[in-house]
Structure 1
């Protein structure tokens, strides 16, 4: 008996559902399962979710539940690359969480299945599920397959570099456009989308082995039907996110993120999720673990493979098996299994894609937390994608206040080997929204400068980006952090081995500049981004809208 829909007080609720075509038995006696569908027919990562939702419903009905599908917003961040509005993307994470919370609270669901595929949408639905703390499964949409151009693999991340400076109407550009996104699904590198799909599995919030199933594989539909069945059992067991998400589980996620060379954005998302779950997790955990965990995953940009290769090699369970000596094996998944039980069934089918810890891609881990007088709180670099020659570098600062201005300078030949580009006022409050610095990073690669020019910013990067680029600098420039005080010609140094980011000026000079600094006018003065800028936390605290 579903107590929420029985008795005199529930008459109006029952009447509303009968108006939707549901009968007394469905309304009164069966678990009500909310299907959160972030379907968007204009976003490849979410364009196929309508079909998966229908298969999930089959599983829910078969297990004795009643599915209620509703929509939550989703975007494809690549739709807005190069535009100022890219700043909306991270703030959208909180909008998605609020949508899940809003509808689920009003409609009093007994359980949730949350469908999502891409960068900020996956952590958005996860935040919503944690906030609701009712039985929940996050089902990721999987990756797209790999395109081919002139006999070589082509991925969405290659498009900007391969076509930069070319005639948009040329046959070459058109051919590249036609094959870069072969089908629905998330872009098949270790970008933020796939990094977060994997994180959902490591956190135990999805079924083992399914997070990286490519979007168009029949296996994805089978997994969707199983998820529909499983959520009904979870309601009966009262198995909630709070039963799964412990500090040990989050530490497993940190270890895995570093070992797979995951997107730097994962740090923001894991810290925000842990905060929502009431679990202690800080940048210091990433720093401590990052010093002892090698990068074992050969997916681009750390290696030469794709997420499709990774899945076919055994996926997340196979990688966790290689890392088991570093993990808390008693952590549990939504299936009720421990991590030890899950990896006991796994096998690594391609040790070139998923390496052993004795034969890593790099020995220093995929991510490094930097600190120093330019980043007193923290900064982040994806060390596994940095050329060996640039793991320690110094250079002259070239200061810009927007990604667009930095990219323009590169294209005009104004950036030279030995320079360190500074792109500031792009942090959570300054952008606002912590914009991804993609134009300048792509331009460095396209102009052959990614092994001789550094870039530091209080913004963030796409999971596609690679090279000697440092982001998430805190305190951010808009808050008066040291990055706001950098001048053209200052010498900036990065040392990954020593985990330092410094500027070669005296403390007295820093104080003098600070006394003369004035906070710029806010770039946005109304709407959701104004609310975000007023309420968001700093990058090292997850950059979320929380009190």
Structure 2
């Protein structure tokens, strides 16, 4: 329901510095209050309400960073949730306004970020591939590492607009190209991403909000029945405790009492 008003990089023209000169985040807050998209009565750390803080913002005359209320850049924002047989609980795709909306290709499967990075730098990834990095979720990582390095390497190899990437880990706000992160359930708990095999066909369809593995459902069930979790990366200490307590990315990866 929330339109895109801020024309900011990587998908827009301006930087955060430009936003500050235009009047700051308070200008965006004004749009949200005026559109009825936030609870203006909510208190902020200053002791004033959100609406009161928004009203204090001074918008620079003639600024172009934040568009007028009635003329948003796009009817929706830059994050899209996909679901499908690879992400029954959802995954997140960041759209900067110019990415491909459809991609299908063979899976290139890696069990951790470092293995994927090595394949990219050794030029083992090719146009059309779908790079899969799994066991990087809240439990698998543990801690849900950021996959920015691999996406940056793909761009550096000239593949940023020719491949897709999916992971149960996180991605950065600077990530470019078609990438699905936060895939849930994650591989470490036996989610469908754990059933992917090298060469399987995977399709991203952003308009249809789908992420699917083109393998018969019976085959996926059989693979998951044979699946066994890998040995834990930590058997003691704070990371082991975290793995035992953390929830799915679809639930915010919050920790809960045992």
Structure 1 counterpart of 2:22: 313
Query: Taking CA–CA contacts closer than 8 Å with sequence separation of 6 or more, which of the two structures ends up with the larger relative contact order?
Result: 2
CA deviation vs aligned residue, 1:50-107 (integer Å, no higher than 9, x gap): xxxxxxxxxxxxxxxxxxxxxxxxxxxxxxxxxxxxxxxxxxxxxxxxxxxxxxxxxx
TM-score by length of 2: 0.91
Q: Does 2:49 align with 1:338?
A: yes
Structure 1 counterpart of 2:98: 387
Any idea what SS the aligned residue of 1:494 has? strand
Any idea what SS the aligned residue of 1:473 has? coil
Structure 1 counterpart of 2:182: 472
> Which of 509, 530, 533 pairs up with 2:219?
509
> Which of 339, 355, 361 pairs up with 2:67?
355
**Conserved 8 A contact 2:78-2:97:** no
Supply the distance in 2 between the matched residues of 1:414 and 1:545 (Cα, whole angstroms): 38
Cα displacement (A) at 1:541: 1.6
**Conserved 8 A contact 1:303-1:361:** no
Any idea what SS the aligned residue of 1:450 has? coil
Cα displacement (A) at 1:513: 0.8
Supply the distance in 2 between the matched residues of 1:407 and 1:484 (Cα, whole angstroms): 19
> Which of 77, 85, 97 pairs up with 1:365?
77
Q: Does 2:40 align with 1:329?
A: yes
Structure 1 counterpart of 2:161: 451
**Conserved 8 A contact 1:402-1:423:** yes
Supply the distance in 2 between the matched residues of 1:517 and 1:351 (Cα, whole angstroms): 56
Q: Which runs of 5+ in 1 are unaligned?
A: 1-291
Cα displacement (A) at 1:346: 2.3
Supply the distance in 1 between the matched residues of 2:216 and 2:70 (Cα, whole angstroms): 43
Any idea what SS the aligned residue of 2:228 has? coil
Supply the distance in 1 between the matched residues of 2:148 and 2:47 (Cα, whole angstroms): 41
* 1:251-266 alignment, distance < 5 Å: none
Any idea what SS the aligned residue of 2:183 has? strand
Supply the distance in 2 between the matched residues of 1:298 and 1:411 (Cα, whole angstroms): 33
Any idea what SS the aligned residue of 1:323 has? helix
TM-score by length of 1: 0.44
Structure 1 counterpart of 2:13: 304
Structure 2 counterpart of 1:427: 137
Any idea what SS the aligned residue of 1:364 has? coil
Q: Does 2:109 align with 1:399?
A: yes
Q: Indicate the RMSD between aligned Cα atoms, in angstroms.
A: 1.8
Judged with a 3 Å threshold, the aligned counterparts in structure 2 of structure 1 residues 358 and 404 are, in CA distance, closer, same or farther, namely: farther
Cα displacement (A) at 1:483: 0.1
Cα displacement (A) at 1:330: 2.3
Supply the distance in 1 between the matched residues of 2:156 and 2:233 (Cα, whole angstroms): 30
Structure having the higher helix fraction is: 1
Judged with a 3 Å threshold, the aligned counterparts in structure 2 of structure 1 residues 542 and 422 are, in CA distance, closer, same or farther, namely: same
CA deviation vs aligned residue, 1:122-154 (integer Å, no higher than 9, x gap): xxxxxxxxxxxxxxxxxxxxxxxxxxxxxxxxx
Structure 1 counterpart of 2:86: 374
Supply the distance in 1 between the matched residues of 2:105 and 2:70 (Cα, whole angstroms): 35
How many residue pairs match? The answer is 254
Cα displacement (A) at 1:517: 1.1
Q: Which runs of 5+ in 2 are unaligned?
A: none
CA deviation vs aligned residue, 1:452-496 (integer Å, no higher than 9, x gap): 110000001122222211100111001000000001111111122
Cα displacement (A) at 1:380: 0.7
Structure 2 counterpart of 1:51: none
* 1:236-255 alignment, distance < 5 Å: none
Cα displacement (A) at 1:358: 4.3
Higher Rg of the two aligned structures: 1
